[in-house]
Structure 1
Amino acid sequence: MAQAYLHTLFGPRARALQEAAGSRASYARMEAGAETVDRITAKELAFIAARDSFYLASTSENGWPYVQHRGGATGFVRHLGGNCFGFADFRGNRQYLSVAHIAADDRVALFLMDYPNRRRLKIIGHAHVSKDPAVIAALMPSGYAAEPERGFLIDVVGFDWNCPQHITPRFTEAEVRRTSQPLIDEIAVLRAHIAQLERAAS
């Protein structure tokens, strides 16, 4: 149960609205006995390892929220033990918004999506940047030649899983190809067979 996640994000106004809506008692039971952090389990580890992108939210120094999409090869987000995750940060447009925001306020939120299976993992935590060569080396995707500028490390405070409602299934080109390839192969076999029959009949 994501108790720390709920304790951290449910403020007085949210609890008051839940009370008015009749949902407060249910959420209060879910919050009961919260630990300091929600402990990452094998279920979350497997889900994160299978992702090739996520959305990272940070807050600017003037209080405005900012959401950035991060992507890479499947598994580019690395587990570094315990509740710590990280990823290598490569040179981009040089706006450095996330880097600047985290330097001022290290609190971040992540959305990790599994569109085909309509699953969503939400994470909140503290982020910091590392330029330690050993840390960056541990975060580097295998076979990637680009030079990283830094490593992003995220210490997870809490997480929550969402229900599939309103998550529209989306599929990558590779996923569509895997699903359709048997049909493509079958069509090729049938066409070859028809061509053979036509040659025999001529």
Structure 2
Amino acid sequence: MSRYLNIATTPSVAAAQEHYGSAEQWARIGARGGADETAQSQRLGPAETAFIRGRDGFYLASVSETGWPYVQYRGGPAGFLTTIDSSMLGFADFRGNRQYITTGNVRANDRVSLFLMDYVHRRRLKIYGHMQVIDAEDDAELAKRLTVPGYPARVERLVLIAVEAFDWNCPQHITPRLTQAELARLRTQPT
């Protein structure tokens, strides 16, 4: 079984799988490895790196000290979320609505989950990780590395996410959607 599913499959999840009849399916997947070596080792390979760098946004989940989940959308130009190396992601955190909910949550519990979507090609990548927030003025070299040249947003913080595990998820029920830029490219392609 993949490292991601090992983390996700708690006793309560296993009980639900048993109750709803999918326990045997996941036992078979686990018995044959269920994932390639990259997913088992938690190391991001070329496919994951290209997918991550191609996204112009993702969903980021954290958990509050009172146990409530919080999910937010993080957006920017394609590539603003990048791979530092095969087990570390990073992005420049732009000034937003100034609620700082995720930033506060990870001070108490650094575990996060990222959900990256490619609606056009009906693909998604789920990532578990440990998030660290650094004030931008505290690490000028990292700020330079993570800042997207020419993007007008104000960088307040730098975010590093140590990848714990990831999983490619099935395309079922993903409705293809296009951004304006993707639609424009399709319109200009020769038929």
Give the TM interval when normalised to the shorter protein: 0.7 to 0.9
Are 1:18 and 1:24, in contact at CA under 8 Å, matched by a contact in 2?
yes
2:147 matches 1:143: no
Q: Distance in 2 between matches of 1:25 and 1:96?
A: 42
User: In the alignment, what sits opposite 2:163?
Assistant: 156
Question: Aligned partner of 2:83: which letter?
Answer: H
Q: Distance in 2 between matches of 1:24 and 1:134?
A: 48
Computing the radius of gyration from Cα coordinates, the structure with the larger value is 1
User: In the alignment, what sits opposite 2:22?
Assistant: 23
Q: C-alpha root-mean-square deviation of aligned residues, in Å? A: 2.2
Q: Give the deviation of 1:176 after TM superposition.
A: 1.2
User: In the alignment, what sits opposite 2:108?
Assistant: 104
2:178 matches 1:179: no
User: In the alignment, what sits opposite 1:14?
Assistant: 13
- Point out where structure 2 has 5 or more consecutive residues left out of the alignment: none
Q: Give the deviation of 1:20 after TM superposition.
A: 3.4
Are 2:64 and 2:70, in contact at CA under 8 Å, matched by a contact in 1?
yes
Structure 1 residues 93 and 182 mapped into 2: Cα distance closer, same or farther (>3 Å)?
A: same
Q: Secondary structure at the match of 1:80?
A: strand
User: In the alignment, what sits opposite 1:115?
Assistant: 119
TM-score normalized with structure 1 length: 0.83
2:59 matches 1:60: no
Count of residues paired in the alignment = 183
Are 1:7 and 1:31, in contact at CA under 8 Å, matched by a contact in 2?
no
Are 1:6 and 1:31, in contact at CA under 8 Å, matched by a contact in 2?
no
Q: Secondary structure at the match of 1:180?
A: helix
Decide which structure has greater helix share: 1
TM-score normalized with structure 2 length: 0.87
Question: Aligned partner of 1:107: which letter?
Answer: R
Q: Distance in 1 between matches of 2:40 and 2:188?
A: 48
Q: Distance in 2 between matches of 1:66 and 1:51?
A: 21
Question: Aligned partner of 2:26: which letter?
Answer: Y
Q: Distance in 2 between matches of 1:171 and 1:13?
A: 37
- Point out where structure 1 has 5 or more consecutive residues left out of the alignment: 187-202
Q: Give the deviation of 1:177 after TM superposition.
A: 1.4
Out of 96, 99, 102, the position equivalent to 1:95 is 99
